[in-house]
Amino acid sequence: MKRIVVGITGASSILYAQRCLYFLHMLNIEVHLVISRTAEQVIQYELGRQGLEEIYQYAYTVYSPEDGFAPIASGSFLHDGMIVIPCSMNTVAHIAHGITSSLLHRAADVCCKEQRPLVVVPRESPLSTIHLRNLLLLSEQGICIMPPTVALYNKPETLIECVDTFIFRIFDILHIPHTLGVRWGERGTNTEEN
117 in any annotated domain: yes
pLDDT for residue 92: 98
Give one DSSP letter per residue of 78-117, joined into a string. --S-EEEEEE-HHHHHHHHTT---SHHHHHHHHHHHHT--
126 in any annotated domain: yes
State the pLDDT confidence band at 8, using cuts at 50, 70 and 90: very high
185 in any annotated domain: no
191 in any annotated domain: no
pLDDT of 188 higher than 70: no
189 in any annotated domain: no
Q: How many domains does the chain have?
A: 1
CATH number of the domain where residue 49 is located: 3.40.50.1950
pLDDT for residue 190: 47
- pLDDT, averaged across the chain: 94
User: What's at 55, amino acid-wise?
Assistant: I
- Closest to 89 measured CA to CA, from 19, 169, 12, 168: 12
Span 108-144, pLDDT tens digits? 999 999 999 999 999 999 999 999 999 999 999 999 9
67 in any annotated domain: yes
Q: List the domain range (segments joined by +) for residue 60.
A: 3-173
Whether a cis peptide bond, with omega within 30° of 0, leads into 86 is yes
pLDDT of 189 higher than 80: no
194 in any annotated domain: no
pTM: 0.94
pLDDT for residue 72: 98
178 in any annotated domain: no
pLDDT for residue 187: 64
DSSP 189: -
